[in-house]
A and B are shown apart, each in its own frame.
Chain A
Amino acid sequence: MSETTIALLGQPNSGKSTLFNGLTGSRQHVGNWPGKTVESKRGAFNRQGDTYHVVDLPGTYSLSANSEEEIVTRNFIAGGQADLICILADASQLERSLFMLADYAGIQVPAVLILNMMDVCDAQGKKIDTEGLERELGIPVIPMVAADKKRYDDFYEVLEKRCAKASLLKEDGLSTLYAEELGVNFEKVKKLLPEKGIGIYSVDWLTTKLLEKDALAISVVREVIDTAAFDQLQVELGGIQDGNLRSADCKFQWIEKLMKGNVVNTGQRVKRSRFDRAATSKRWGKPIAIGMIVLGLVVSMLIGMPLMGLFGALISGISAPLSSWLLSIGTAPFIVSLLCNAVLTAVSFALQMASYVFGISLVFGFMEDIGYMARISYTFDNTMAKLGLQGKAIMPFLVSFGCNIGGVTGTRVIDSWGQRVMTMALSWAVPCASTWGVVGLVSGTFFGSQAVFVILSLFAVAFLHMYVTYKIFGRSLNKEAERTGLIMELPPYHKPHWKSLFGSVFNKMGNVLKRALLIIITISVVFWLLAYTPDGNVQSSIIYRIGTFIEPVTLRFGLPWQLFMAFAASAMGKEAALGVMASLFNTDGIWSAIEGSSVVNTAVLSTSLMSVVSKPEALAFLFAFFFNIPCLMALSATAQESHSMKWTLRIAGYYIGMALVMAAIAYHVGLLIF
């Protein structure tokens, strides 16, 4: 029985997450790094009685301390909690992806090198001499396909041996290059530092990072050496030009040497397929991407819908027998109603949401897995630049037309936190499928053939809304200086790995479901309490009293109290608005309407709406509804993905405020027109 902590280190797309999921399965915990907006993923697995804790470090391109992700990574390694660092490289793009290894050399924590995507590498006709690499590097080198759990044996074997004897990555080859290429400057700086390095950092590693003007390395050094030496250091560093460029050059020279001796490329350079030429071309790129995404949305609906129907039917099937059984054993009607109406409805909402997320994650996960997603980002980069974003932000926007939750979870691929949250904030304005359902019904009822103009005006305002959002949040969230333009590798296409794809999709669905249940149940119970009346008469419910009490205020936004409540309920889920309207305008029980939202009798609703609500009020409602926050689930997804409750609430507040302002404007414009 022993406990070992291993950490996974690698560039984005090196397959870190795939390996992490493969190793830990469902034994994982997702949270935040303390005080940071960076996701922390930890998990564990057992192997022959020993426990291994796995930490999935944030994907970064190097170990320079330029971003929060990189700082988290550096501090974790320096903290000495890990017994072994597993450095991942993509064997199909080996030269480039070995950079992390080169940047690591000099850190005195035992390491192994994992060559992932060996299947693609083999298909390219490349032969890698792993034993040769092991000799030169001094650490185990493990070829692997992270998506294929059957091929983990080599890795497990190394882990078991490693516990007995740990080995460090050899840095002498790199040190020689530094000394040759950087010359006197390198030696001068090195002499000012402790000969044995500081902590886990070797003296050569620290010297290089100082030449690269790395803030974290400077502060580490400042704590250890005396002031005179530090001043001298500043002088030396000030005299060095392009230290970072030259050290990067050294690292790649080292990699080239490593490759020359141990990698044989028998195949020719892979020619770009006709499809890839088309997918990245100016004329066909966008149409192909849009076609693929529409197809993706349709397929994800086809996958998600039957599941949604199944869950919906299952829950309503349980509800009636359960309530009669509870009543028969003498449970108070109040409790029965709470359980069977509020809680069970919430459970079915959450399950249906999860089905949606399942379909979308599967289809878009597939596109990511085979390498096509990067082409979509490339194609849309110029479009997204207009909003201060980069090409990778297009996917979340398009997915949001189906479901905003899918859109928010899709922002994960974007490099910087600021741009990620900015994308989430903007994607909220994209109307999801349910929004269209309600908008279609209400605008059709009130405006007949003119509805098309209403919808066009909603669209026009949506673009304006996005631009305003960009202007308001852009300054603090996505500072000009911190923006990163699109710089990305386009991976070679490869076959999908179904097993690991399904594994990660189920994982994601589980996380969404857990959060959804918690939030939706809480809110449902509150709403149920407000609407509950022992006699079923709406006028004796709290919601009626509140609604009529605040009506003088809501009327300023053009919203009679029933419509305002529908607007409020639409924050739970857009469909809920229909249910609330149906109940409030029919003075039946309110909750039964929310619960049965899918079977709202729209014909009856339309006539009762027409008799009570004026056209300007309907217009006001449409605007308020359209620009309201997407739904609670999207809100919780945003909190989860941004790792910042503060920003999530700020964005939500902004959306609700803007929705009401727009309702007021629409109402007054409506008064002039109609």
Chain B
Amino acid sequence: MKKLSELQGGTTGMVTAISGDTRFQSRVTSIGLTVGSAIEVIQNPKKRPLLLYGRDTMIAINRVDSEKIMVEVTGK
């Protein structure tokens, strides 16, 4: 299990846990990142928000928040 913020571009995986407060969790899940959902990291440049695919959608998520999302890596 790794933090989402640590994953390189091209990595695929499954979300296993989301920490943070209720408001944050509600925000992230409502955009489609739920526990058990499949994601693919598109790019993860330093000091920039992360780009990923999840549920049909390209999503940008900032670095601080992406540390709160844990992912089980399934492929590269």
Residues in A lying within 8 Å of B, measured CB to CB: 11, 61-62, 64, 66, 93-96, 99, 103, 212-213, 242, 244-246, 248-249, 252, 269, 272, 280-282, 374, 377-378, 381-382, 385, 390-391, 484-490, 492
CB contacts under 8 Å to A, within B31-76, are: 31-32, 34-37, 42-43, 45, 47-49, 51, 53-62, 64-65
Known A66-B22, A272-B42, A280-B43; contact A489-B28, beta-carbon cutoff 8 A: no
User: CA–CA, A484 to B25, complex, Å?
Assistant: 12
- Contact at B43–A252, with CB atoms within 8 Å? no
B60 lies within 8 A of A62 (CB): no
Q: 8 A-B contacts, Cβ less than 8 Å apart?
A: A61-B31, A95-B32, A213-B22, A249-B35, A252-B37, A378-B48, A382-B47, A488-B60
- Indicate which residue in A103, A374, A487 contacts B28 across the interface (CB closer than 8 Å): A487
Query: With A252-B34, A487-B60 given, is the CB distance from A244 to B65 under 8 Å?
Result: no
Contacts of B54 in A (CB 8 A): 96
Q: Mark B residues whose CB is within 8 Å of A.
A: 18, 22-23, 25-32, 34-37, 42-43, 45, 47-49, 51, 53-62, 64-65
Residue pair A484, B60 in contact (C-beta under 8 Å) = no
User: Which residues on A sit within 8 Å (CB–CB) of B26?
Assistant: 61-62, 64, 66, 212, 244, 248
Contact between B62 and A248, CB atoms less than 8 A apart? no
Additional A-B contact list (15), CB under 8 Å, known A248-B26, A485-B62, A490-B51: A64-B26, A95-B56, A103-B30, A212-B26, A245-B18, A245-B34, A252-B55, A269-B53, A280-B51, A390-B62, A485-B64, A486-B61, A487-B28, A488-B31, A490-B59
CB-defined contacts of A391 to chain B, threshold 8 Å: 49, 60
In the bound assembly, the distance between CA atoms of A272 and B10 in angstroms comes to 13
- Complex CA gap A245/B19 in Å reads 10
A269 to B57, CA, bound (A): 10
Distance in angstroms from A255 CB to nearest chain B CB is: 8
| Also in contact, A93 and B51, with CB within 8 A (given A280-B43, A485-B65, A487-B28) | no
Interchain CA distance A96-B26 in the complex, whole Å:
14
Which residues of chain A come closer than 8 Å to B53, judged between CB atoms? 269
A378-B51 contact, Cβ under 8 Å, with A94-B56, A96-B56, A486-B60: yes
User: Are the C-beta atoms of B22 and A212 separated by less than 8 Å?
Assistant: yes
Q: Who on chain B is nearest to A283 by CB?
A: B45
How far is B56's CA from A391's CA once the two chains are assembled, in angstroms? 23
Residues of A within 8 A of B49 (CB): 378, 381-382, 391, 486
Query: Whole-angstrom distance from the CB of B48 to the nearest CB of chain A?
Result: 6
Whether A248 touches B60, Cβ cut-off 8 Å, given contacts A66-B22, A487-B65, is: no
- Please tell me if the beta carbons of A248 and B56 are within 8 angstroms of each other in the complex: no
Q: Kindly state the separation between the CA atoms of A154 and B48 in the bound complex, as whole angstroms.
A: 44
Q: How far is the CB of A13 from chain B (nearest CB, A)?
A: 11
- Of B25, B47, B59, which one neighbours A244 at CB under 8 angstroms? B25
| B17 CB, nearest partner CB in chain A, Å | 8
Min CB–CB distance A286 → chain B (angstroms):
11
B26 to A: closest C-beta gap in Å: 5
Contact B35 A245 (CB under 8 A): yes
Residues of A within 8 A of B59 (CB): 487-490
Q: Are A378 and B60 in contact (CB under 8 A)?
A: yes
User: How far does the alpha carbon of A397 sit from the alpha carbon of B30 in the complex, in Å?
Assistant: 29
Complex contact A245–B29 (CB within 8 A): yes
Contact of B48 among A11, A96, A103, A381 (CB under 8 A): A381
Q: Which residues of chain B are within 8 angstroms of A212 by Cβ–Cβ distance?
A: 22, 26
B61–A95 CB distance below 8 A: no
Q: When the two chains form their complex, are residues A96 and B31 in contact, meaning their CB atoms are under 8 A apart? A: yes
Known: A244-B22, A490-B51. A282 touches B45 (CB 8 A): yes
> Is the CB–CB distance between A96 and B55 below 8 Å?
yes
A5 vs B35: C-alpha distance when bound (angstroms): 38
Contact indicator A381/B62 (Cβ below 8 Å): yes
Contact A245 B48 (CB under 8 A): no
Tell me which residues across on chain B come within 8 A of A66, comparing CB atoms.
22-23, 26-27
Distance in angstroms between the alpha carbons of A281 and B51 in the assembled complex: 11
Instruction: Give the residue of A62, A213, A249, A269 whose beta carbon is less than 8 angstroms from that of B34.
Output: A249
What is the distance, in angstroms, from A389's C-beta to the closest C-beta of chain B?
Answer: 11
Complex Cα distance, B51 from A198, in Å, reads 41
Docked pose: A61 CA to B55 CA in angstroms: 15
- Give the distance in Å from the alpha carbon of A166 to the alpha carbon of B75 in the complex: 48
Flag if A93 contacts B56 (CB, 8 Å): yes
Q: A62-B26, A212-B22 are in contact. Are A99 and B45 (CB under 8 A)?
A: no
Residues in chain B near residue A281, CB distance under 8 A: 45
B73 CB, nearest partner CB in chain A, Å: 20
Instruction: Give every chain B residue within 8 A of A11 (Cβ-Cβ).
Output: 30
Min CB gap A489→B, angstroms:
5
Nearest A-chain residue to B42, judged by Cβ: A272
Contact, CB under 8 Å: B30 / A99: yes
What chain B residues lie within 8 Å of A390 (beta carbons)? Answer: 62
Chain B residues contacting A272 (CB-CB under 8 Å) are: 42, 58
CA distance A56 to B57 in the complex (A): 25
A490 to B49, CA, bound (A): 12
Do the beta carbons of B36 and A249 come within 8 Å of each other?
yes
What CA separation (Å) do A62 and B32 show in the bound complex?
11
- In the complex, what residues of A have CB within 8 A of residue B57's CB? 93, 95-96, 489
Contact A486 to B55, CB < 8 A, known contacts A61-B27, A248-B34, A282-B45: no
Nearest CB on B from A233, distance (A)? 17
In the complex, chain A residues whose CB is within 8 Å of the CB of B56: 93-96
Closest Cβ–Cβ distance, residue B24 to chain A (whole Å)? 8
> How long is the Cα–Cα vector from A116 to B41 in the complex, in angstroms?
27
Q: How far is the CA of A390 from the CA of B64 in the complex (A)?
A: 12
Write out the residue numbers on chain A whose beta carbons fall within 8 Å of the beta carbon of B36.
Answer: 249
Closest 6 CB pairs of A and B: A248-B29, A485-B62, A61-B30, A62-B30, A96-B32, A95-B55
Interface centre among B29, B31, B64 (most CB of A within 10 A): B29
Residues of A within 8 A of B64 (CB): 485
Complex Cα gap A485–B21 (Å)? 13
